[in-house]
Structures are given as C-alpha cells and as structure tokens.
Chain A
Amino acid sequence: DAGITQSPRYKITETGRQVTLMCHQTWSHSYMFWYRQDLGHGLRLIYYSAAADITDKGEVSDGYVVSRSKTENFPLTLESATRSQTSVYFCASVAPSGREMGDTQYFGPGTRLTVL
C-alpha cells in the first residue's frame, strides 16, 4: 500500500525558474490538496481539487499553478520561483467516506524547496 507520495523530497532552485512538485496517491481519492508549511507556522492551503479537472484556489495561491488530468496525480508548479516560496510543501488527499464523522486527510511526506 504505497499511499501518497511526493517527489522530489528535496529541491534547490534559483529565483525565476519554473519548478514542478509531484504528488501521487494510490487510493483513487477524490479530493487532493497542496499546503505549504513555513518555519513556526501551521499549514496553509495553496490549492485543492475535488476531482480530476476540478481545481480551486486556497488561501495562498498566488504564484502557483495546479493541474489534475488524472485522479491519482496533482502536480504543483511554481511558474517563476521566488525566495518567499522557500518552504516545505505537503500534498494530501481525502475520500468522502459517508461517515458521520468527517473525512480524514492523509498527508504525503513533504517536499522541502529552497529558492536561492
């Protein structure tokens, strides 16, 4: 059971370069999310997707682009990386379970991105 994976795990890039972070989940979960986590802070939502070809902005979407052509993949692209985008990026997925309780988000291991 591979679950949810992210690649690369570590990335160093330069200001102005385009960078794509990959996220892959094996559960066929409908919802997928991208968060960023900065030192001393909680997670902030960048983008989310309810299903293939359906995406929407989160709290901090400026400078990021996503796509979801397949249910299992949800890549995040920094079109022109800036130093302020240095962060740890987490992908997550959730499948509406129909439980009375809510639906658990499962997180990937994260990608640590440094923009020089």
Chain B
Amino acid sequence: GESVGLHLPTLSVQEGDNSIINCAYSNSASDYFIWYKQESGKGPQFIIDIRSNMDKRQGQRVTVLLNKTVKHLSLQIAATQPGDSAVYFCAENIPPGNTGKLIFGQGTTLQVKP
C-alpha cells in the first residue's frame, strides 16, 4: 500500500508485506533527504538518507527513492515487521551548506498487523 503525507497519514499493512511511505518535499533546491522513524515516547531515529545526485539508496530492508522531477521521496520497507510500527518522517536539507537545519514533513503512521 501507499501513503501520501498529509492526505493519508496512517498506513496499515500486514506483517510480512512490503510498505511504501511517500513524501512530497517543498524545495527544488534541497540537496539532502533523510527518513526518520519515531516510536511512541521516543525521539526520531535515523533510518536512511540520500543525496540529490542519487535516485535510489538501499539499506537493510529499507530503500529510499528520490524523484526530483516531481519532488517526491519514498521509503520502502521490505517484509514489514511489528517492530516497524512507528511514525515515519521525511526531512529535507535546504542549501546553502549542510548545516543540519532540516525541514520535516508531517509524518506518516505505519501500523503493522500481525
């Protein structure tokens, strides 16, 4: 299934299925993007990042895709597990420089059904 930021803030998937979380970013000059996972009562935790000179980057069970033409970012989670249940945020770095100042999206809640 898919979720698009503000319009579908909750994504519910069956354990073992693949999840796709989408994010539309705001600034065409943004050069660095990060996905964070936030579990209830905790701070955001880094998942994966990607530079604007890349279209795709893979990690362990996660893949980030970047489409600069339509300013769209997606996070794919393979074989979703109950421990993946959390709120997922995309964030963008707007140049100049990589000061760490990020603009965060609204977040998408991922619910994994056992």
A87, CB-defined interface residue at 8 Å? no
Q: Given A102-B32, A104-B49, is A110 in contact with B43 using a C-beta cutoff of 8 Å?
A: yes
B60, CB-defined interface residue at 8 Å? no
Interface size class of A (residues with CB under 8 A): 20 to 34
| Complex partner residue of B106 from A35, A41, A100, A106, CB under 8 angstroms | A41
Q: How far is the CA of A40 from the CA of B89 in the complex (A)?
A: 12
Q: How far is the CA of A94 from the CA of B102 in the complex (A)?
A: 12
Chain B residues, CB < 8 A from A90: 43-44
Complex contact A42–B106 (CB within 8 A): yes
Q: How far is the CA of A89 from the CA of B93 in the complex (A)?
A: 20
Contact with B along A44-66 (1 / 0, CB 8 A): 11001010000000100000000
Q: How far is the CA of A114 from the CA of B106 in the complex (A)?
A: 22
A31, CB-defined interface residue at 8 Å? yes
Chain A residues, CB < 8 A from B106: 40-42
Chain A residues, CB < 8 A from B99: 31, 48, 50
* A97-116 CB contacts (< 8 Å) to partner B: 100-110
Chain B residues, CB < 8 A from A48: 99-101
A sample of 10 inter-chain contacts (CB < 8 A) reads A33-B100, A43-B104, A48-B100, A48-B101, A58-B101, A92-B43, A101-B50, A102-B32, A103-B98, A107-B44
